[in-house]
Structure 1
Amino acid sequence: MQKVLVVETNVTRYAGTNDPTGLWLGEAAEFVDAMQQAGIGVDYVSPRGGFVPLDPRSMKYTDADIMRVYEDADFVDRALRNTLRPDQVNPADYVAIYYTGGHGVMWDFPDNPELQQLALSIYNQGGYVTSVCHGIAGLLNIKDAAGNYLIAGKHVTGFTTAEEIIAGKKSVVPFLNRTVATEHGAHFDQKRFYSEYAVQDGRLLTGQNPFSVRAVAKLLVDAVGNAG
């Protein structure tokens, strides 16, 4: 069975505040639902392993599919309570890596060398590096063996500055996705705020916001299906 490695955050609050954050539930659950329908397996990793907090605001944006995955004992155990540490993962086992979002990722995804090496290994073996929403934070600083940013010259998308303003978090986040992506040589594409939008550039697949999960998943399923 083909498998995808799903990356989630361990961060419980916005830095310097008591305001809770964490994984945006739908960005994991909708993706997992799509993989299950396609017969693709998933494993879960986080920077520290173990517990993954949920962004409480994400619970307001659920549907029957999200709740079905959330109520599944296997998902609760492997995705929320007992995620793998990066050193427990063999990248050769995966056709893709998928970075979920939620604002927490902006603090523990960008500068994690273990996750970067996993993603680069999967990419170098012909796999796909994918993300949705704030999950692009995990892609921004990945460099290849020559020291070039993986996203340089590529079309990508992620949670936009306009969306940060609407969410009321522009003054809290440590950086803006578009700014860093552009600084690192990427072409940052976007549509109207909170519109479904996903971009494929070779083996990089990225989605703009929480409403883009299934669009990213479809691109990935189509890609690995064609590759197989």
Structure 2
Amino acid sequence: MTKPIKVLFVTTSHDTVGATTEKTGLWLDELATPYFIFKDAGSYISIASPRGGAVPVDPKSESVMSVTRSSKRFRNDTEAMNHLSRSMLLLDVKEENYDLLFITGGHGAMWDLAANPLLKQLVEHFNTKNKPVGAVCHGVVALLTVTEGKDNLWIKGKAITGFSNREEESAGMTQLLPFLLETKLQSLGATYTSGTDHTKHVVSAGNVITGQNPASAEEVAKMTLNMIRPTYNVVRK
């Protein structure tokens, strides 16, 4: 019998745009689509966040324009919603308990997943053991401070993508964020690429797979899963 893959999702706990009252948080489909890819492949799933407990969801991700089949399915799935409302505290996560790490985005990540020392350490432990790491959209901020060797930045010279400056501009977020992800990645020496706005663009750098935007989440999930189980059978519902 094939041993189930243990997947750890990491999400934001931050629910406002900076110091404003505008709501943000997790972009739901960046969790929902990968969640069901892993679940339908028989994986065990856990969700962790910096503060633990209920994960804030960006209301824009459930608008008529943005809602997806997977996010609707997620809202109607009792087990999935229990995960979302009772996320583990990131402090309590141990890398050895998981086979695959998947870091979700949403603008909230720009405040609490960037330069997060616990997440930095977790990614470094996964990298040391060459375990798959997936990061989508703003979740790519988790890679900014990751090091290897003698405090060398891991992303320097690596093929990376993430939410582009053009996409931030079209979302009206350019002036509201602490920094622009594309600009930061390039300034730290990453080999950043992007595709057409709001369409799938995925790149790999060894065991790390990054996706540009929510449309890339499905492919990132499939690629990370294939690193562990090259012949899996996903039944989409």
2:113 pairs with 109, 114, 132, which one?
Answer: 109
Residue identity in the other structure for 1:65: S
Q: Which runs of 4+ in 1 moved over 6 A?
A: none
Name the residue aligned to 2:235.
none
Task: State yes or no: 1:135 paired with 2:139.
Answer: yes
Name the residue aligned to 1:209.
213
Cα deviation for residue 87 of structure 1 reads 2.5
Name the residue aligned to 1:118.
122
Gaps of 5+ in 2: 233-237
- Contact 1:94 1:122 survives alignment (8 Å): no
Q: Secondary structure at the match of 1:107?
A: helix
1:155 pairs with 159, 176, 181, which one?
Answer: 159
Distance 1:206 1:150 in 2: 14
Name the residue aligned to 2:31.
28
Cα deviation for residue 52 of structure 1 reads 0.9
Distance 2:5 2:154 in 1: 24
* 1:112–1:227 distance in 2 versus 1, CA, 3 Å: farther
With the length of structure 1 as denominator, give the TM-score of the two structures.
0.95
Distance 2:147 2:130 in 1: 16
* Residues paired across the two proteins, number: 227
* 1:119–1:227 distance in 2 versus 1, CA, 3 Å: farther
Cα deviation for residue 145 of structure 1 reads 4.3
1:39 pairs with 25, 29, 42, which one?
Answer: 42
Higher mean C-alpha displacement, 182-191 vs 100-109: 182-191
Distance 1:134 1:77 in 2: 24
Gaps of 5+ in 1: none
Q: Secondary structure at the match of 1:101?
A: coil
Cα deviation for residue 41 of structure 1 reads 2.0
With the length of structure 2 as denominator, give the TM-score of the two structures.
0.91
Task: State yes or no: 1:98 paired with 2:95.
Answer: no
2:16 pairs with 13, 16, 27, which one?
Answer: 13
Q: CA RMSD in A?
A: 1.5
Name the residue aligned to 2:173.
169
Identity, % of aligned pairs?
34
